[in-house]
Amino acid sequence: MPFVKVHIHFVWSTKNRYPFLDSKDVRFWVWSHMRENAKEKGIFIDFINGYSDHCHCLVSMGADQTIQKVMQLVKGESAYWINKNNLTKEAFEWQDEYFAVSVSESMLNKVRTYIKYQEEHHAKKSFQQEYDEFISKYGFEKFND
């Protein structure tokens, strides 16, 4: 049996960054469902939270899991579930794009805290500002040239 401890911080937005998840209750139900559904699929969500137009998810990856497959299972099923349960006024979709960055063991608590306080964080900063900071901080702009 392999011993694997790889944490990935995923961030993705709603389609066109539309604020579908504009209610605390809806966000609570969505994050809770995503955690439970992921668990059924063998995906361990360490921490999850977000705001009206995006989601942050800290995942402990399994030995046989890929970033692409985890995102496909988490995002695809949750969008289906949100629509099936009529949690939003309009048809819900996630954006195709996402961020995925590794998190060292020494930074796990800092990332958990960052994810936990998304609502307070976004009272001061828009998702666009956060997005731009992620692009810069992790050097993603060099891939777009």
Phi, psi of 58 (to 5 degrees): -100, 115
- Determine the Cα–Cα distance for residues 108 and 40; give it in Å rounded to an integer: 23
| Full-model pTM | 0.91
Domains of the chain (ranges, CATH numbers): 6-140 (3.30.70.1290)
DSSP 15: G
Residue 83, both tokens: 């629509």
- Determine the Cα–Cα distance for residues 145 and 143; give it in Å rounded to an integer: 6
**Per-residue pLDDT tens digits for 70-103:** 999 999 999 999 999 999 999 999 999 999 999 9
- 3-state class of 132 per DSSP? helix
Q: Which helix (H) or strand (E) holds 5?
A: none
**Per-residue pLDDT tens digits for 88-145:** 999 999 999 999 999 999 999 999 999 999 989 888 888 888 888 888 888 887 655 4
Bigger pLDDT: 119 or 20? 20
Give me the helices (H) in the chain, please. 24-40, 67-84, 108-116, 118-124, 127-137
